[in-house]
Structure 1
Amino acid sequence: MKKTLVIVVHPAIENSVVNQRWLQELSLYPEQFTLHNVHQAYPDGNIDVAKEQALVEAHGNVVLQFPMYWFNCPPLMKKWLDEVLAYGWAYGTGGEAFKGRKVALGVTAGINEPDFTPEGKWGHTLAQLLAPFDVTFNYVQAEGRQLFAFYGAEYGDAEPAYAERVGQSAVEYARFLSAL
């Protein structure tokens, strides 16, 4: 079985408690996961498309891990999608790189989960806000478009059991990715 590629896009990962803890947990299983930090690989933001495509091709499943930024993905994640998912490779004539490949999202949200409901403060679920990813994955014929989310990341200092909740989410995230 091929390993799962976890593509991490976080412009300030050194300040992210949750994303760092998730990566720490996944690093315990190097036989299952390849962790690829796009900001670290391309600090100038210039993506080597051929290298990224080869990395995807060398793996089985693909996970996109990022924090929500203004109810969307960080800009470099969008750039990665725009450039790497090229015509003739990911879609279109001869474009079958993702066909049948399982994909998932690992997302951290600063806002608490009750605010991400139709009745909540923002009137939309996280899944609704991430619908463009579902459409994209469907367009490139990927399978298993699933979401793993951590809510309330920006309120950690005010939550007594935050470290425990983060640790538990890391274990659950690794389990979730192992089951793809």
Structure 2
Amino acid sequence: MSRTRTLVVVAHPDLRGSRVTAHLADAIRDLEHVTVHDITAAYPDGRVDVAREQQLLRDHDTVVWQFPWHWYSVPGVLKSWMDQVLTHGFAYGAGGTALQGKTLRLVTSTGGPADSYAAGGYNRFTVAELLAPLDATAHLTGMRLAEPLVLYGARTVSDEDLALHTKRYREVLAA
């Protein structure tokens, strides 16, 4: 029986300057069935090799979008990648079945604490509500959206809590 192949698309505008996203990406690089793909480093000019990216998606069973939460959405680099790669005829629409049956998992971190992402909280909405557009994207492309893995309070997370979150991330990818 073959192991599920996982593509982790890391989207951070400054991965070298990142504590959380860089740490999480580094912590999974040694997993045999995981391909870690830093799209900011791969395409510093923003011009994506669409054929290459679409082939990477075809070659993997699970797709992870790993990113810091920016302005209630994905960072611009991931949005641009999505716009260029998830095209009609490939990801959706007539003949667009390349992603059907795959799993999409979101791995993200927020600056604010968990209680700020509640109906009465500072941000007014839950993370699940704010992730609705990505849920719709998974649905349109025929992917199953797995339970998101969210690290709240990334700016102030302790080393111990980051280590626990990292352990959980590795467990999720290894499952």
- TM-score bin, normalised by smaller chain: over 0.9
Partner of 2:29: 27
Counterpart Cα distance in 1 of 2:127 and 2:61: 26
4+ residue runs of structure 1 moved beyond 2 angstroms?
none
Residue 146 of structure 1 aligns to a residue whose secondary structure is coil
Task: Assess if the C-alpha contact under 8 Å between 2:135 and 2:145 holds in 1.
Answer: no
Taking only the aligned residue pairs, the percentage that are identical comes to 35
Counterpart Cα distance in 2 of 1:144 and 1:9: 18
Task: Assess if the C-alpha contact under 8 Å between 2:138 and 2:145 holds in 1.
Answer: no
Structure 1 alignment gaps of length 5 or more: 157-161
Task: Assess if the C-alpha contact under 8 Å between 1:111 and 1:153 holds in 2.
Answer: yes
- TM-score, normalised relative to structure 2: 0.95
Residue 155 of structure 1 aligns to a residue whose secondary structure is coil
Counterpart Cα distance in 1 of 2:131 and 2:144: 16
CA RMSD of superposed structures (Å): 1.1
Partner of 2:134: 133
Q: Deviations over 1:8-31 (max 9, x none)?
A: 0000111211112211221131x1
Task: Name the count of aligned residue pairs.
Answer: 173
The code of the aligned residue for 2:86 comes to L
Task: Assess if the C-alpha contact under 8 Å between 1:137 and 1:143 holds in 2.
Answer: yes
The code of the aligned residue for 1:163 comes to D
Counterpart Cα distance in 2 of 1:100 and 1:134: 14
The code of the aligned residue for 1:71 comes to Y
- TM-score, normalised relative to structure 1: 0.92
Give matches, 1:15-164, under 5 Å.
Answer: 15-29=17-31, 31-156=32-157, 162-164=158-160
Partner of 1:3: 5
Counterpart Cα distance in 1 of 2:145 and 2:130: 18
Task: Assess if the C-alpha contact under 8 Å between 2:8 and 2:66 holds in 1.
Answer: yes
What is the Cα deviation at residue 174 of structure 1?
1.3
